[in-house]
Amino acid sequence: MHNRLSLFRAEAGLSRKDLAARVDVNPQTIGYLERGDYKPSLELALRIARVFDVPVEALFSLDPFEPVAELIRRSQKG
């Protein structure tokens, strides 16, 4: 499973500890998720998505995400 958790967390200015507290897990769990060592339960994925106010598929995917730099380049080309 692929995720953009660290990207969303950094953009929101949240530490792993901050996010963990908001979704009621250990901070190590957030690190495991970010590294792809652990796959979240559906409930945890939904709780994390709620923190960032995004659909769960914006954070987690079975397929690799397109690099953000590529998305930006493509959007600038119109």
Output the pLDDT for position 14: 98
Output the pLDDT for position 11: 95
Instruction: Report CA torsion sign: 7, 9, 14, 19.
Output: negative
Output the pLDDT for position 15: 98
pLDDT digits (tens, 9 = 90+) for 26-72: 999 999 999 999 999 999 999 999 999 999 999 999 999 888 778 77
Output the pLDDT for position 12: 98
Task: Give the pLDDT band of residue 78 (cuts 50, 70, 90).
Answer: low
Domain 2-77 has CATH 3.30.499.10: no
Output the pLDDT for position 21: 99
